[in-house]
Each structure stands twice: as C-alpha cells, then as structure tokens.
C-alpha cells in the first residue's frame, strides 16, 4: 500500500522506477531517464535551475516551487536508480550528517 506521507512516498517512487527500468519498453520517458546518464544529468540541472528561479522570484509561488521541486526529486531519483544507487543511500548520509550536527 502506498504511503500518504510525503517522505514515505519516495520508497514507493523508487520501487516504481525499478519496475520501469526492468519492464518499460525502449523509448519510454522513464526508461530513458533511467538508462541515459547524459539525458538525466541535463534534466537534473534544468530542474535544479528552475527551483532556483522559483526561490528567487519576488512573488514566490509556493505551488510552483513544489512542482519544480517534485520534478527535481523525480529526475534525481531516476539518476540515482539508473546508476545502481538507492534512496536509502542518500538517507543514510543525511542521517549520519544530522547525528554529527547534534554532537
């Protein structure tokens, strides 16, 4: 069952991407983002830039910021999964850094 918690959705998304990597037909967008490092690098850079533009906007639109951030996270996760990594790897680093910051 899919989680309704925002952070809890990332494992569901990762599982979906792993399935797409294994089963998606050649030419599908998800498969391209999972198997073409140059394409996913470009999308991660593009989406990160768009997040930055939203953050500096004088009339910050939180809905638009969330949409761009979602695009960034999706493409970032595609890159991680496509490279053989996992969200758990990222989360482990964040947790270790947080523990270090608390000491």
Q: What residue ranges do the domains of the chain occupy? A: 28-102
Confidence band (pLDDT; 50, 70, 90) for 2? very low
State the pLDDT at residue 5: 52
Q: Are 40 and 71 in contact (CB under 8 A)?
A: no
Predicted model pTM: 0.86
Superfamily of domain covering 28-102:
MazG-like (1.10.287.1080)
pLDDT digits (tens, 9 = 90+) for 80-89: 999 999 999 9
State the pLDDT at residue 24: 83
Q: Are 72 and 51 in contact (CB under 8 A)?
A: yes
Helices (H), 1-103: 6-23, 29-35, 37-56, 62-82, 87-102
State the pLDDT at residue 18: 95
The three-state secondary structure class of 26 is: coil
């Amino acid at each position: 069952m899919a989680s309704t918690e925002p952070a809890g959705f990332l494992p569901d998304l990762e599982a979906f991407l792993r399935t797409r990597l294994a089963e998606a037909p050649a030419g599908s967008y998800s498969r391209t983002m999972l198997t073409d490092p140059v394409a996913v690098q470009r999308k991660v850079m593009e989406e990160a830039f768009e997040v930055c533009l939203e953050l500096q906007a004088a009339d910050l639109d939180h809905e638009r910021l969330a949409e761009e951030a979602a695009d960034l996270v999706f493409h970032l996760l595609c890159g991680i999964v496509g490279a053989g990594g996992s969200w758990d790897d990222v989360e482990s680093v964040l947790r270790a850094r947080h523990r270090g910051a608390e000491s």
